[in-house]
Structure 1
């Protein structure tokens, strides 16, 4: 079973761009009014999200593996990533909860 192929576009495309630290490709997957919530902070729109993506890419060194995914309801999906790296604690499983609208990501909430 291929976990990534179980997720609708644009989620796999966004996840690949996020892993590759490609902010332009990641932003193309989002709506213009997208919201990202990560580590207790809310980032709204492409300008704030671009800054967040850049900071997230440079703050720590880590590996990430998609270990699970599921459909929550008609427009919401969850992808679980296992991270290991030089961040506090060194190991964490993060839930990426996506809300889709019109074929793009309107909201992403990342939390343990």
Structure 2
């Protein structure tokens, strides 16, 4: 699948569980919404993804990617040590200055 470089870099950082590399792909004031919680800014995003990686060891396998005027959606199979694994999740992105401005993860 042909993904934009920013998205393929994010998938790669997730799959090797590199929280610093993952967070570096977000703008300074980025927001992540996941499991009913909001994470603001690079440091909170890095803390969130590192905790998630330790707990769940999640790996993403992209299924589809679509751009629209309202943002972009990556649909991926997510597997790891969480109940119900694997699961298909939607990663809803907006972008800001070549970085991720927001990410909302939905089922």
Alignment of 1:14-29 (within 5 A): 14-29=10-25
**Residue matched to 1:79:** 74
Q: Which moved more, 1:21-30 or 1:44-53?
A: 21-30
Q: Does structure 1 residue 111 correspond to structure 2 residue 103?
A: no
Q: Secondary structure at the match of 1:54?
A: helix
**Residue matched to 2:39:** 43
CA contact (8 A) 2:24 2:42 kept: no
Shift of 1:62: 4.5
**Residue matched to 1:52:** 48
CA contact (8 A) 1:36 1:44 kept: yes
Report the TM-score when normalising by structure 1: 0.84
**Residue matched to 2:29:** 33
Q: Does structure 1 residue 99 correspond to structure 2 residue 98?
A: no
CA contact (8 A) 2:55 2:81 kept: no
Aligned length: 107
Greater C-alpha Rg: 1
CA contact (8 A) 1:9 1:103 kept: no
